[in-house]
């Protein structure tokens, strides 16, 4: 789908014109067409409560190479034990709200929650849940456009809950032939599981190929 036609006016400049922090614009709205246009152009929203909508395209960009995803031996043993049950799109509202609960504060504002729930209803945003003893142990959510999956956030309530969900996500992306797994910024947590950084120019080149993929479906 041509998101430029559905969202013809945007508040951001092209990623190549971003400042040194990756900032590309402010304002606009979080409507599905504009969010999906942003992701298809290598841009995502990130802002605090009370701030205007801020748009970013960092350089370098963090991704997982699906074939280089690392699962520690300890985590492999945990997963083989059957401790967690993994599901997809079973409880998106609880997952995104779980991601929003952080002691240090959160950028997942009520407006962001509502925006991504609209994307979920349209089949463009997805959640992965890990369950232990019938209770939500962790999860993550993100946005799919063509062969791109852009992970937004994850959380856990029990040890390894988020890692189990991440493993489940990678398995789904491989199974469905996704081309690019974007994690925006690398963290110690994702780095330990194989996340790496690539230049923004390389990311944008690979992004164009990924979003051009037809018949790639997460669900």
Residue 156 pLDDT exceeds 90:
yes
For 79-126, write each residue's pLDDT tens digit.
Answer: 999 999 999 999 999 999 999 987 665 789 999 999 999 999 999 999
62-198 fold: Aminopeptidase (3.40.630)
122-146 residue pLDDT tens: 999 999 999 999 999 999 999 999 9
Give the 3-state DSSP-derived string for the chain, with helices as H, strands as E and coil as C: CCHHHHCCCCCECCHHHCCCCCEEEECCCCCHHHHHHHHHCCCEECCCCCCCCEEECCCCEEEECHHHCCCCHHHHHHHHCCCCEEEECCCHHHHHHHHHCCCCCCCCCHHHHHHHHHHHHCCCEEEEEEEECCEEEEEEEEEEECCEEEEEEEEECCCCHHHHHHHHHHHHHHHCCCCEEEEECCCHHHHCCCCEEECHHHHHHHHHHHHCCCCCCCC
- Tell me the domain boundaries of the chain: 3-60, 62-198
pLDDT at 66 over 90: yes
Of the candidate ranges 97-111, 175-189, 192-206, the one whose mean pLDDT is the lowest: 97-111
Domain 3-60: top CATH class: alpha beta
């Amino acid at each position: 789908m041509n998101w430029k036609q559905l969202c013809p006016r945007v508040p951001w400049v092209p990623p190549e014109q971003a400042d040194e922090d990756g900032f590309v614009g402010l304002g606009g709205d979080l409507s599905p067409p504009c969010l999906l246009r942003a992701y298809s152009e290598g841009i995502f929203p990130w802002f605090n409560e009370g701030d205007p909508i801020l748009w970013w395209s960092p350089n370098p960009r963090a991704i997982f190479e699906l074939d280089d995803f690392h699962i520690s031996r300890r985590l492999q043993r945990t997963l083989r034990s059957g401790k967690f049950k993994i599901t997809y799109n079973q409880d998106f509202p609880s997952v995104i709200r779980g991601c929003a609960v952080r002691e240090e504060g959160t950028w997942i504002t009520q407006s962001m929650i509502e925006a991504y729930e609209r994307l979920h209803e349209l089949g463009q945003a997805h959640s992965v849940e890990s369950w232990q003893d019938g209770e939500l142990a962790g999860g993550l959510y993100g946005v799919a456009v063509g062969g791109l999956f852009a992970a937004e956030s994850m959380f856990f309530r029990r040890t390894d809950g988020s890692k189990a969900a991440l493993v489940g996500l990678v398995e789904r992306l491989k199974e469905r032939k996704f081309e690019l797994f974007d994690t925006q910024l690398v963290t110690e947590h994702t780095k330990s599981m194989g996340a790496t950084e690539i230049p923004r120019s390389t990311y944008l080149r690979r992004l164009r190929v990924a979003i051009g993929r037809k018949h790639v479906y997460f669900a």
